[in-house]
Chains A and B, each alone.
Chain A
Amino acid sequence: MGKTWASRLIIFTTLLFLIGPFFIIIFAGLSAGSSLSFPPQGLSLKWYLAVFEVESFRQSFTLSMFLAVCGTLCALIIGVPAAYAICRYKIPGAETIKLIVAAPIIVPGIIVGLALLRYLVVPLNFTVTLALFLAHTALVLPYAVRVVSASLENLRTDIEEAAVLLGCTRLQAFSKVVLPNIRSGILAAFILGFVTSFNQVPVSLFLSGPGVRTLPIDMLDYMEITYDPSVAALSALLAFLSMGIVFIAEKTLGFSRYV
């Protein structure tokens, strides 16, 4: 069948273009030499190990982790009730509210970062870390609302009424019946938020101070100074981390439906 061959070829070429570069990164990081090249000059794990020795990487990794975990949690804490209210009650101005909450996706991150720096950090004396935290929360919030809304839409409303008729208060009905049934949506929102926040660059670009930099920004800075394969190694490690998370999420939650 010529047709299946052609279609395989198209898919293969596209995937090669999309994913091929990672393999190159992985191998470039395995270089035994001291400059970036492909194919690598000899194989060794030294750059993969070297990554862990760089103090600033460790610091910025910790910060990025903190932002991704806490920012996403915070976004869920305010996002889940919002999603619930939007889905269940005909609140006046729901469209406007949805638009406001979705704004951080549409407005370019670099502008957000700059705006926060100029009007929160500088005049109000917010610490950079706090500004980063707020910015990442705002950035993740739309994803949280959207993903949780999607799983709420799929949940019948009458089970809440059934719970109330069996003696629940509205709040109990939410915690005993709604929450357990949107658990996987919330988890998916968490993962999506985590990954988005962790990989975020533009928002954090201006929001950096002495010793306070997110990991991707730190990598960018590092690349400007040195050209050794450690950034390749770190990139590969991060790629593995994301892939691992997404793979597990896909197996357990069918994650791709929420993206």
Chain B
Amino acid sequence: MVLPAAVFTAALFLLPVGILLSEGFKVGGEWTLAGYADFFSKPLNRTVFFRTLKLGLLVALVSAIVGYASAFCIVNLEPKQRGRIFGLVILPLMISPVARTYAWIVILGRTGIVNDAIVGLGLSDTPIRFLFTETAVFLGLLQLFMPLMIISLISSMENLPKDVIPAARVLGASWLQVFTRVILPLTREGLVLGGTLVFTGALTAYITPAILGGSKVLMLETLLYQKVNVSNDFVSAGIIATILIVMCFGANVVLRRIAKA
């Protein structure tokens, strides 16, 4: 009974992807790592690689900080309200990322709200360029993926044993100590799960860097697209694909192990 599903995925999915990945190891028909050396010797590729990594980590970190604060507040609401707010948090996940990202153009564009305000308040004579900066990509990614972090933190906080926080308070813990000694260790799994989702999501997002970063702020996905569509460079495409998959799987495996340890 599982066979159709497994065969389907393996044949239509793993096989083609596997071949694609193998292309990165072949230059001129020979198996070699030369493609990788070549890839990383180009400054642009290195910049894009480190930018992707940096944005991924940054988005995960900021989501975690904001996520803890809001998840904690949401969990402490009364059940009915909590359900409603929870619905609002997952709502964005159901909406097209194109629509979600598009909004930032309206906000950050030359004639967007932020620039209108800046010019209007006389802070600057000319509009400031926000679009096609790392900041814009960062904001877009954060908005896109933060719900995943909040959701997993909420569900692990809901599983906190009742009254542990008051118990810690009574035992003399400050709020900071309550967080580091009680909440953090007990919600570690949720944090790791959310972190994995956000990090891999940010690494592999295409629309946000494409719309908000353009060719000025390339990330690995947009670079891959360029390599294929502009320069027909399938060796680089295979390499980028491998890097992405290794980072995603790595994040999944490593973080999950940390969560269980």
Contact = CB atoms under 8 A, between A and B. Distances in A.
Query: Do the two chains touch directly in the complex (Cβ atoms below 8 Å apart)?
Result: yes
Interface of A: 7-8, 10-11, 14-15, 17-19, 21-22, 24-25, 28, 35-39, 78-79, 81-82, 84-86, 91, 94, 97, 100-101, 103-104, 106-112, 114-116, 118-120, 134-135, 137-138, 141, 145, 195, 198-199, 201-202, 205-206, 216, 219-220, 223, 231-232, 235-236, 238-239, 242-243, 245-246, 250, 256, 259
B258 interface: no
A242 to B, nearest CB: 5
Measured as residues with beta carbon below 8 angstroms from the partner, the interface class of chain B is: 35 or more
Interface stretch (B42-50, B166-174, B237-245): B237-245
Main secondary structure of the interface of B (DSSP, over half): helix
Given A11-B85, A18-B92, A111-B241, 17 more contacts: A7-B73, A15-B85, A17-B146, A82-B4, A101-B6, A107-B248, A108-B241, A110-B204, A115-B19, A199-B95, A199-B97, A202-B207, A216-B97, A235-B96, A256-B86, A256-B90, A259-B151
A199 B96 contact: yes
B130 to A, nearest CB: 14
B206 A120 contact: no
A27 to B, nearest CB: 9
Contacts of B252: 106
A124 to B, nearest CB: 10
Contacts, number: 226
Main SS class of interface, A: helix
Interface string B86-119: 1111111111111110111111010111001000
Interface in B8-49: 8-10, 12-17, 19-20
A118 B234 contact: yes
A25 B20 contact: no
